[in-house]
Amino acid sequence: MSKTDFTRRGVLKTGAVAGGAMALPTIFTSKARAFTNEPTGANVTFGFNVPQSGPYAEEGADQLKAYQLAVEHLNGTGADNGMLDTFSSKALTGQGVLGKKVEYVSGDTQTKSDAARASARSMIEKDGAVMVTGGSSSGVAVAVQALCQEAGVIFMSGLTHANDTTGKDKRANGFRHFFNSYMSGAALAPVLAKAYGTDRNAYYLTADYNWGYTTEQAVREATEAAGWNTVATVLTPLGAGDFSSYITPVLGSGADVLVLVHYGGDMVNSLTNAVQFGLRNAQANGRNFEIVVPLFSELMAQGAGENIKGIIGSQNWDWKLENQIGAKYVGTNAFVQSFGNKYGTPPSQSAQTGYVQALLYADAVERAGSFNPCAVVEALKDFDFDGLGNGPTTYRGADHQCFKDVVVVRGKENPDDEFDLVEIVELTPVEQVTYAPDHPQFAGGNLGTCNPGV
């Protein structure tokens, strides 16, 4: 007679012990890792954290397309090599990064700091992302940058323009390719003074969050230095919808210039309202009334339609740079061809900054010979490069901010086609927009030291 000793409890106990024993080696190996999410297999995972819903979803969608293109180029699986051919550093070969095939996970920031942090945390803890990149809001960038610093991964920010990202909220593990509020102010002030005179009276409508504050301050200080007077600064709630009640007091205020420190849908709405209320055709103080939008984007120009015509603003990059300004901005055409052939539209500046950040990270890893965040930080520090569409550029070690020329643009009066919405007015040379790391607009922050995690 045979008797089996199997009981339900017995099986469960044995299973638990066996499971624990099998998990043991990974627990030990994870302890043995030198830094957070050290890639051990044949692949390495990048985390693309972009707004896929919310007011900046369109910028996020374009950015994600660019990241996917970057992954193809890094792995050598694309139809061409994009900017790899024009990039001054030749460390990347299209064979992956350090011989590992690049994979990616994407998350939705929803343009909300808490959602963006949750999505970045999930990419780091669950998906094993070795770096996080992307975003289209400074509030989100600052929040995710702080998280990446704590977690011990590199954060290559996306579209973030507030001074704070590389100012009072800078972190050693965070890097910004996009330009900032100070640079917009410094680039715009001379152009505005030349176009509209040095004795203008400006009225500011400012988005009520960190980007709005620093951009208003930067443009105000730069234009006041050029002789302008500030009549009033009014904070407007994010997503106000109809701005008419903020626009109507402008004409009677003694101002002859309206500066709209708004971005995305808010900018489209406030500009549309301003044009509807006749500000574009109005006269004030005996002169034509003018409107200025410090931070432009092609996607916003599409939303604003013909209201954008003749309005001056600044951009980080424009897809027409190489054709219209010259070979100094090499890389632009390679990227536009690559992106245009794959997706059928020219890339936005949001796409370009994302693509470039992905390449810069991969290149730094390749040059450092390691995915260790501290090695990457060393490789990016004071790194001079060219051929990525913005002309000669430096990643300054003191604050991890890129320094390059700034594009001043104007809404085009007679567009050739649906993509030809802005014309390039001037390229402000990098020297004119460079500032000391301890400039008052950037004061109060501490870069700290790199954190490899674990």
Partner 1 sequence: MDAIFLQILNGLDKGSAYALIALGLTLIFGTLGVVNFAHGALFMLGAFCAVTLNRILTISSTSIDPTRTDFLGNPMQVQTPYVEKWFGTEFGASLIEWSVPLAILFSIPIMAFVGLAMERGLIKHFYKRPHADQILVTFGLAIVIQEIVKYFYGANPIPTPAPDVFKGSFDFGVLIGYEANTILYPYWRLIYFSFAAAVICAVFAFLQFTTFGMVVRAGMADRETVGLLGIDIDRRFTIMFAIAAVVAGLAGVMYTPILSPNYHMGMDFLVLSFVVVVVGGMGSLPGAVAAGFLLGILESFASKAEVIAILPGINQVIIYVIAIFILLMRPRGLMGRKGVMET
Choice between 151 and 304, CB closer to partner 1: 304
Q: Does residue 318 belong to the site contacting partner 1 (CB under 8 A)?
A: no
325 binds partner 1 per the rule CB under 8 A? no
Residue 50 CB, shortest distance to partner 1, in Å, is 12
Q: Does 265 bind partner 1 (CB under 8 A)?
A: yes
Nearest distance, CB of residue 232 and partner 1, angstroms: 5
Tell me: does residue 53 bind partner 1 (CB under 8 A): yes
255 vs 232: CA distance, rounded Å: 8
Do 86 and 388 contact (CB within 8 A), yes or no? yes
The label of the residue with tokens 């996607």 reads: 299
| Integer Cα distance of 250 and 150 in angstroms | 45
**Maximum CA extent, the chain:** 112
Give yes or no for residue 285 binding partner 1 (CB under 8 A): no
Distance (Å, whole) CA 38 – CA 28:
14
Query: What value does the CA radius of gyration of the chain take, rounded to a whole number of Å?
Result: 24
Distance CA 309, CA 271 (A): 11
Among the listed ranges 38-46, 174-182, 278-286, 436-444, the one in contact with partner 1 (CB under 8 A) is 278-286
Q: Which residues contact 83 (CB under 8 A, 6 or more apart)?
A: 73, 331, 334, 335, 338, 355, 356, 359, 387, 388, 389
Considering only 346, 373, 387, 411, the residue that binds partner 1 (CB under 8 A) is: 346
Q: Which is nearer to partner 1, 40 or 276 (CB)?
A: 276
Is 413 a residue that touches partner 1 (CB under 8 A)?
A: no
Question: Does residue 283 interact with partner 1 by CB under 8 A?
Answer: yes
Angle at 317 between CA 421 and CA 182, to 5 degrees: 110
419, 425, 435, 441: residue in contact with partner 1 (rule CB under 8 A): 419
Does residue number 201 form part of the binding site for partner 1 (CB under 8 A)? no
Residue 14 within binding range of partner 1, rule CB under 8 A: no
Separation between Cα atoms, residue 260 and residue 293, nearest integer Å? 5
Considering the complex, state which of residue 188 and residue 308 has its C-beta at the smaller distance from partner 1: 308
Please report the DSSP string for 286-353 in residue order.
TEE-EEEEEE--HHHHHHHGGGGBT-EEEES--TTHHHHT-GGGTTHHHHHHHHHHHHSSPPPHHHHH
Q: Which residues, numbered 67-126, are part of the site for partner 1 (CB under 8 A)? A: none
Q: How far is the CB of 268 from partner 1 (least distance, A)?
A: 5
Spatial separation of the C-alpha atoms in residues 198 and 228, rounded to whole Å: 6
Picking from 163, 219, 161, the residue whose alpha carbon sits closest to that of residue 191 is 219
C-beta closer to partner 1: residue 247 or 312 = 247
When binding is defined by CB under 8 A, the residue of 98, 146, 195, 282 that contacts partner 1 is 282
Give the integer Cα–Cα distance in Å for 83 and 73. Answer: 8
Rule CB under 8 A: is residue 55 a binding residue for partner 1? Answer: yes
**Among 229, 302, 394, 434, interactor with partner 1 by CB under 8 A:** 302
Q: Which stretch binds partner 1 (CB under 8 A): 95-103, 117-125, 181-189, 337-345?
A: 337-345
336 binds partner 1, rule: CB under 8 A: yes
With a CB cutoff of 8 Å and minimum separation 6, the contacts of 48 are 63, 64, 67, 104, 105, 106, 107, 133, 134, 354
Q: Among residues 300 and 358, whose Cβ is nearest to partner 1? A: 300
The single-letter DSSP state of residue 391 is: S
Chain-centre distance for alpha carbon 420? 22
* 395-418 per-residue burial string, b: 16 or more CB within 10 A, e: under 16: beeebbbbbbbbbbbbbbeebeee
| 53 vs 77 by CB, closer to partner 1 | 53
Q: Which of 88, 229, 337, 394 binds partner 1 (CB under 8 A)?
A: 337
Q: Which is nearer to partner 1, 296 or 395 (by Cβ)?
A: 296
What x-and-dash track marks residues 203-232 binding partner 1 by CB under 8 A?
Answer: -----x-----------------------x
Q: Which stretch binds partner 1 (CB under 8 A): 14-22, 74-82, 158-166, 266-274?
A: 266-274
CA distances from 106 to 44, 65, 413 (A): 14, 11, 38
Q: Which residues bind partner 1 (CB under 8 A)?
A: 53-58, 61, 208, 232, 234-237, 239, 241-242, 244-246, 248-249, 251-253, 265, 268-269, 272-273, 276-278, 282-283, 299, 302-307, 319, 336-337, 340-341, 346, 416-417, 419-420
